[in-house]
Amino acid sequence: MGNRRVKGEITISVVSERDTSLPIQSQFKFNGHVGYLEAVIEAIKIHTQKNSDYSGGGGQDDDPLANFKGSVEFGIDPGLGIILRIQDKFQRVKAFAKSGRLAVVNESVEDAMLDIANYALLYLALRSEIEEEYPFVGYVCNLCGYKEAVITRPIITNLRDNACGHCDHGVMVWSEEGE
């Protein structure tokens, strides 16, 4: 296998009429594997394709995260929903790896890996949205005093009932101060 390093200027420019947070413009020097670059571009194409195909059933004006946000109706946090899908794809990849067939050119593995990458990026997209919309609130351990700033919604779990992850004995209770 030869060295497939590439170096060069990357320019990303996206202009949207609907979203005032755009245009997104980014220009930087790329220095890495050409296969990585090809995979990133492929992941973007797949994301676009999926949104054109079936996002919420209404075409391209729908929220790309609609499928995940809908899980709230079933008591599942959207972020957790994305993680579960990553796990599902991960299981498939793991099965291939165990069978020793990962070394073979296998479209299923390629698809699963690209899906995992896209789910991970969508998770970050969801999180940035949540951080914009929901304020952090403070939780403090009633035993050791450990403090944590948490986004409470749309996360369904009631953190007030949660054990402290720091001392393992106390209970995280909501504090007014937040952050």
When asked if residue 113 is in the footprint of Zn ion (CB under 5 A), the reply is no
Between 127 and 166, CB nearer to Zn ion: 166
Report the distance separating Cα 58 and Cα 55, nearest Å.
Answer: 7
Specify the long-range contacts of residues 106-114, CB closer than 8 Å, at least 24 apart: 113/39, 113/89, 114/39, 114/42, 114/43, 114/46
Between 83 and 159, CB nearer to Zn ion: 159
Q: Find how far residue 83's CA is from the centre of its chain.
A: 8
15-23, 34-42, 107-115, 136-144 -> range binding Zn ion (CB under 5 A): 136-144
Side chain identity, residue 49: Q
When asked if residue 170 is in the footprint of Zn ion (CB under 5 A), the reply is yes
Nearest-approach distance from CB 164 to Zn ion, in angstroms: 3
54-62, 113-121, 122-130, 164-172 -> range binding Zn ion (CB under 5 A): 164-172
Side chain identity, residue 166: H
Residue 164 dihedral angles phi and psi, to the nearest 5°: -70, 130
3-11, 42-50, 84-92, 168-176 -> range binding Zn ion (CB under 5 A): 168-176
When asked if residue 138 is in the footprint of Zn ion (CB under 5 A), the reply is no
10-18, 29-37, 74-82, 146-154 -> range binding Zn ion (CB under 5 A): 146-154
For the chain, the first-to-last Cα distance in angstroms comes to: 51
From candidates 56, 166, 173, 174, binder to Zn ion by CB under 5 A = 166
How many residues interact with Zn ion (rule CB under 5 A)? 8
Side chain identity, residue 120: A
How many other β-carbons are positioned within 10 Å of the β-carbon of residue 77?
18
Could you list the residues that contact Zn ion (CB under 5 A)? 141, 143-144, 146, 164, 166-167, 170
